[in-house]
Amino acid sequence: MENDSHAYVAQVAAAIYPYVHFVHARLKQKGASELLGLTRSMVEQGIPLQQIVVNDRVDVALLTLAGAVQLPANGLPAQDVKGLLPKGTRCGVSVHSLEEAQIAERAGADYVLYGHVYETHCKPGVVPRGTAQLERICRLSNIPVIALGGIQPHHIPELYHAGASGIAVMSGIWEAESPIAAAMEYRQMVDQIVCSRCKETRVEEFRKKYGQVSGEEI
């Protein structure tokens, strides 16, 4: 049964991975062998190792050679973990405050996941931290801050406006009637924001070089 459910999760993950940058292998309530099984199923389903983020277990990341490992805020220091894993393995830390974000950055994290920004049933009874705190953490961090928690596609513009470098979504995709359609919708929204930013930057560069110019001329 365990293997069947891994295979199902891995199949769905394999269907959505073309629309996302990373897929997390995360089984909070299970042991290392289950997480290893899930990660291996993901690889068997064709998800590139570089796109898999193993949560919590450095040993599983090491055994599978996943592209990244996601550590809890009170976990091992990122720099030490990176010393154990193959060169280039990314190390993210899940944080819930500016203080934790700064500790993670000093410890060598490549990025932080910050949450939860909005109300989510995954964190019942815990008040969401909101976009003002997200904005502060983004402003005071020198590594990418990825927003997490209760994110719906319509939140994406304000999250990027607050300085987030990306978003992480669990229930919005996994509990959707069609996880693939949901992943596509999130991705489309992210691409729109990133493209409009690229255009703004190009207009600004053009303006600096050639003087006044309208966006349509570029």
Ligand X SMILES: Cc1nc(C(=O)O)sc1CCOP(=O)(O)O
- The answer to the question of residue 150 lying near ligand X (CB under 6 A) is yes
Q: In this complex, which beta carbon is closest to ligand X, that of residue 74 or of residue 212?
A: 74
Q: String of b and e for 91-130 (b: at least 16 CB within 10 Å)?
A: bbbbbbeeebbbbbbebbbbbbbbbbbbebeebeeeeebe
Instruction: Select 170 or 203, whichever has its Cβ closest to ligand X.
Output: 170
| Binding mask of the shown chain, residues 171 to 200, with x at each position contacting ligand X by CB under 6 A | xx----------------------------
* 149 touching ligand X, by CB under 6 A: yes
Binding of ligand X by 123 (CB under 6 A):
yes
| Sole window of 39-47, 153-161, 167-175, 193-201 interacting with ligand X (rule: CB under 6 A) | 167-175
The residue range among 11-19, 32-40, 143-151, 157-165 that interacts with ligand X, by the rule CB under 6 A, is 143-151
Asked if residue 130 binds ligand X (CB under 6 A), the reply is no
CA angle 106, 112, 118 (to 5 degrees): 140
Which DSSP string do the residues of 70-130 spell out, in sequence order? Answer: EEETTSS-HHHHHHHSPTT-EEEEEESSHHHHHHHHHTT-SEEEE---S--TTSTTS---H
CB of 129 to ligand X, least distance (A): 8
The window from 133-141, 145-153, 158-166, 205-213 that contacts ligand X (CB under 6 A) reads: 145-153
**DSSP conformation letters of 115-177:** ---S--TTSTTS---HHHHHHHHHHT-SS-EEEESS--GGGHHHHHHTT-SEEE-SHHHHTSS
Report 60-99 residues binding ligand X (CB under 6 A): 94, 96
Choice among 116, 121, 154, 155 that is catalytic: 116
- The whole-angstrom separation of Cα 181 and Cα 136 is 32
Smallest separation (angstroms) from ligand X to the CB of 94: 5
Interface pick for ligand X out of 49, 170, 176, 184 (rule CB under 6 A): 170
Helix, strand, coil % over all residues of the chain, rounded to 5: 55, 15, 35
Q: Judged by CB under 6 A, does residue 148 bind ligand X?
A: yes
116 as an active site residue: the answer is yes
Residues that bind ligand X (CB under 6 A): 94, 96, 115-116, 120, 122-123, 148-151, 169-172
